[in-house]
Structures are given as structure tokens and as C-alpha cells.
């Protein structure tokens, strides 16, 4: 029997599925164009995205987005970009942001490792946030951790010094 080689990249997350609430689904659909950025192959232009020159804070893996929303409300002259793959969390954040009519927040629903590598310009981020990442305690899962040298290198490259 020939062995098929799998080249799937190891990811730092497991896609959780399940029913979405009305608000979460609203955030992922009807309200998406107000806050969501659909990634093409191009580099993001933050001045165009936010229509201003304000500093950008990037948060990777914002979960349900509550703390990111609070920061965006409290600091209206700072732009916030959240990257998260957890659909319910992304939907919830967009829905809540829309309720508060804030304009300094955008979200990307993709693997942050890829987005950092392919779409975020070098030296474009003022603050880089990563809270409570990696629920990977078992040794055999350590390779899944997002906090790795290559991720730090990437984060440093994207951050303004």
C-alpha cells in the first residue's frame, strides 16, 4: 500500500462549529461588510480601511471579542484590527460593534499566522496584542502553539519600532 503524504500545515486552532445565535449570524452576514475584511492576496492598506492615519492595534485570537470591543470604545482615536477564526466570536464582535456604531474596529476571519505573513505590511502595527493563547498543554500538542519563534519574528517585523 502506498502511503499518501499529507502536507497540511499544523494549525494553532481547531475550528469549533455549532449553532450560531441570531446576533452572531447577523454579524457574519448582514453586518459583515461594515466591519469584516475579506482577505485577497494583497497587502492591507490601513489608511484606506480606516479612512484615517491613526495608529493600529492588532489583536490575534480575540475569542468572543468583549475586551477588544471595550478597548475600541474607550480609545476612539486608535484603530483596532482583530483576527480570529472562531466564527461565533467574530459574529458576536461585529454585531456588538454595530450596536455601538463604532468605526475604529475591523475584523478578519482567517488564520492569523497566514494573514501576518501575507497581508499585514511591515512596520504598520503600533500595538500587538495576544491574550491567553494556546490551550495546548499536552506535550504532543506543543507544536500547535501559536507562540513560537517564527510567530514572534513575524510580529516584530510587522510592528513599528
Ligand X SMILES: C[S@@+](CC[C@H](N)C(=O)[O-])C[C@H]1O[C@@H](n2cnc3c(N)ncnc32)[C@H](O)[C@@H]1O
Enzyme catalytic residues: 134
Segment (H or E) for 59: strand 56-60
Which lies closer to ligand X via its Cβ, residue 52 or residue 156?
A: 156
Per rule CB under 6 A, is residue 132 in the interface with ligand X? yes
CA distance 144 to 158: 22
Report if residue 96 touches ligand X, rule: CB under 6 A. Answer: no
Contact window for ligand X (CB under 6 A) among 24-32, 48-56, 83-91, 99-107: 83-91
CB nearer to ligand X: pick between 96 and 111:
111
Of residues 13-72, which lie at the interface with ligand X (CB under 6 A)? Answer: 13, 60-63
Residue number with CB closer to ligand X (53 or 137)? 137
- Residue range at the interface with ligand X (CB under 6 A); choices 2-10, 18-26, 78-86, 119-127: 78-86
From residue 150, give the alpha-carbon distance in Å to each of 43, 84, 114, 155: 20, 19, 12, 9
158 touches 83 (CB < 8 A)? no
Rounded to 5, what percent of the chain is helix, strand, coil? 40, 10, 50
Q: Work out whether 146 is an interface residue with ligand X (CB under 6 A).
A: yes
Instruction: Indicate whether 120 belongs to the interface with ligand X (CB under 6 A).
Output: no
- C-alpha to C-alpha distance for 69 and 94, rounded to whole angstroms: 9
Amino acid at each position: 500500500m502506498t502511503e499518501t503524504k499529507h502536507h497540511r500545515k499544523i494549525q494553532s486552532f481547531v475550528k469549533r462549529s455549532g449553532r450560531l445565535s441570531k446576533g452572531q449570524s447577523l454579524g457574519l452576514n448582514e453586518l459583515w461588510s461594515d466591519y469584516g475584511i475579506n482577505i485577497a492576496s494583497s497587502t492591507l492598506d490601513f489608511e484606506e480601511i480606516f479612512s484615517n492615519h491613526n495608529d493600529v492595534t492588532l489583536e490575534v485570537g480575540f475569542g468572543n471579542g468583549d475586551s477588544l470591543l471595550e478597548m475600541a470604545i474607550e480609545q476612539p482615536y486608535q484603530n483596532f484590527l482583530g483576527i480570529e477564526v472562531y466564527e461565533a466570536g467574530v459574529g458576536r464582535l461585529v454585531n456588538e460593534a454595530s450596536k455601538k456604531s463604532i468605526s475604529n474596529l475591523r475584523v478578519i476571519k482567517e488564520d492569523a499566522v497566514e494573514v501576518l505573513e501575507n497581508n499585514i505590511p511591515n512596520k504598520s502595527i503600533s500595538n500587538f496584542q495576544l491574550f491567553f493563547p494556546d490551550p495546548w498543554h499536552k506535550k504532543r500538542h506543543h507544536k500547535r502553539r501559536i507562540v513560537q519563534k517564527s510567530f514572534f519574528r513575524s510580529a516584530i517585523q510587522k510592528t513599528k519600532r
